[in-house]
């Protein structure tokens, strides 16, 4: 994702494709290939990986039956037009969740318009009818200059949980706060 964020400003919605688009796409496919290869080799023996590659084409129909969406996503990034469409949506800040992803709560969702999240943000967390539950209260102590409340609710029609935090930091420098949020982002990505 970081690679795409570094390069999405290069893309525009014109029908004419620039050479640098295909270069970025080729580098992205290479990165994906390296990630897949590394993950396979970390989980399977050399012989198992070799056998997987050797028999992939013969087993393609079975793989498609077992995980159609996964294969579709994998092959989708090989298709330049789908890749460009995805990058342009990312650039526009639009998120598209498929009904299946919302139902299953997968974290491999594509981008969708953020207005739905803005609606959740505007909700009153104290209104029990909306399904918000207080799951954590942080009280300020001598050595902890943070206080706040964490609320959680299910996203309608989905298994995805939404989390909303209202935190107050006292006596924390901007630099320390930025370092903390970077640390949180890394933790959430892992």
Domain borders along the chain are 2-92, 125-189
Per-residue model confidence (pLDDT) at position 1 = 57
Q: Please list the residues that pair with 168 across neighbouring strands.
A: 147
Segment of 46-50, 80-84, 106-110, 184-188 carrying the highest mean pLDDT = 46-50
Which residue did the predictor score with more confidence, 144 or 8?
8
Is the model's pLDDT at 74 over the cut of 70? yes
Q: Please list the residues that pair with 149 across neighbouring strands.
A: 137, 166
Is the model's pLDDT at 186 over the cut of 70? no
Q: State residue 135 phi and psi, 5-degree precision.
A: -115, -10
pTM over 0.75: no
- The structure tokens 């990986």 sit at 49
Return the axis-axis angle of helices 68-78 and 46-66, rounded to nearest 10°: 110
- The whole-number average pLDDT for the span 164-183 is 73
- Does domain 2-92 fall under CATH 2.102.10.10? My reply is no
Query: Of the candidates 158, 168, 164, which has an alpha carbon nearest to the alpha carbon of residue 124?
Result: 164
Judge contact between 20 and 28, C-beta under 8 A: no
Is the model's pLDDT at 64 over the cut of 80? yes
Is the model's pLDDT at 81 over the cut of 60? yes
CA-CA-CA-CA dihedral for 54, 60, 64, 67, to nearest 10: 0
- The structure tokens 């909303």 sit at 164
């Amino acid at each position: 994702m970081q690679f795409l964020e570094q390069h999405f400003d290069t893309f525009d919605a014109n029908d004419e494709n620039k050479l640098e688009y295909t270069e970025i796409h080729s580098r992205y496919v290479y990165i994906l290939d390296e990630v897949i290869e590394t993950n396979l080799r970390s989980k399977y023996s050399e012989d198992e990986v070799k056998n997987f590659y050797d028999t992939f084409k013969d087993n393609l129909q079975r793989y498609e039956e077992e995980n159609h969406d996964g294969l579709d996503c994998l092959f989708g990034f090989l298709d330049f037009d789908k890749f460009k469409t995805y990058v342009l949506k990312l650039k526009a800040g639009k998120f598209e969740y498929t009904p299946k992803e919302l139902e299953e709560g997968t974290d491999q969702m594509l981008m969708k318009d953020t207005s739905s999240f803005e609606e959740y943000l505007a909700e009153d967390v104290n209104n029990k009818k909306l399904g918000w539950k207080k799951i954590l209260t942080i009280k300020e102590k001598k050595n902890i200059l943070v206080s706040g409340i964490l609320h959680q609710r299910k996203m309608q029609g989905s298994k995805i949980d939404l989390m909303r935090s209202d935190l107050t930091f006292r006596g924390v420098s901007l630099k320390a706060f930025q370092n903390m949020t970077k640390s949180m982002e890394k933790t959430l990505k892992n």
